Every structure is written in C-alpha cells, then in structure tokens.
Amino acid sequence: MHTLKTRLSVALSTFAIAALLSGTAMAEDTLRTIKFLAGHTSVAIHDDLVERDSHIFVFAAEAGQEANIQVKSLEENADLTIYQPPSKIEHDADGLDVDGEILQGGKPVPGLDPGATRHWQGKLPASGSYYIELVSDRGNVTYDLTVSIK
C-alpha cells in the first residue's frame, strides 16, 4: 500500500525528470569571470547552453593586448558578441543583458545581428572589463570557448 510519503516522492521525482527533459524549465542566463592562471595566457571552457539563454563571461585586459577569442560547436550554432569597456551588466525580466559598445572586427555570421561572430582576433582598444555574450542561434548547444590574451 502506498503511503503519502511514497506518493509525494514519486510526484517530485516525476516533476524533476520532466524538468530535465524539457531543457528550459530551470535554465537561466549566467555570468562567469574568466581568470587566467599564473603563467597562462589562455582559457578553454567546455559547456552546454540551452536555447534562448545566454552565458556571459567577463575578463580584464589592457589596451594594446592581443586577443584571440573563438567559439566552436558541432552544429556551428554557438555565436558570441564581445563588448568593450566601459560596458556593464543589466538585470531585466528576461535575465542578464550587456549594455555597451560591441567590439568590431570579428568575422560576421551571415543572417545574424551585426557584431555576432564565432571568432575575433586583434588588439584590444581599451583597458578594463570585456564581456563575451554567448548564445545559440538555433537549438541547444554544446560549445568550446577559447580566450587567449597576450
């Protein structure tokens, strides 16, 4: 005979499984700080992104440093936009947004907003915090983000 505790446990387990299978039930935008280990100039990040969410990364750099920022995904559906200093994070009903000037010069992705790219390389124009906003242009995505600063 099922007790109330058993029924409640089954109901909660069913809800948790449904939430995991839906993929978007508990997803949200995230902000992460990129820190380079002593003696290292590069960071590699492997992660998953749910459609309609974004991962935002921030790193500090100096004007004139060389940067190489690239995102790769199996279906080429991960795109990034880089914002130069002075930019800031804003919280709104949809989650996190970056407010600032887009760093120009990346290879554009056809059909997407100006500034969307998968690869940016060049000299950074200003000292301060740079934000990388990573999104999926279709479906969920597993990506590899590499940020190199010299």
Assess whether pLDDT exceeds 70 at residue 7: no
- Provide the pLDDT for residue 150: 92
Assess whether pLDDT exceeds 60 at residue 78: yes
Look up residue 113 and give its amino acid. Answer: D
CATH 3.40.50.300 for domain 29-149: no
Tokens linked to 116: 């969307």
Assess whether pLDDT exceeds 80 at residue 147: yes
Tokens linked to 68: 């190489």
Average per-residue pLDDT for the chain: 78
- Provide the pLDDT for residue 113: 64
User: How far is CA 104 from each of CA 19, 22, 27, 83, 115, rounded to the nearest angstrom?
Assistant: 39, 36, 30, 9, 6
What does the pLDDT look like over 36-73, one tens digit per residue?
Answer: 888 899 999 999 998 878 899 999 999 999 999 999 99
> Would you list the domain boundaries of the chain?
29-149
Average pLDDT for 12-34: 51
What does the pLDDT look like over 97-131, one tens digit per residue?
Answer: 787 888 887 766 665 666 677 888 899 999 999 99
Report the Cα 120 to chain-centroid distance in Å.
15
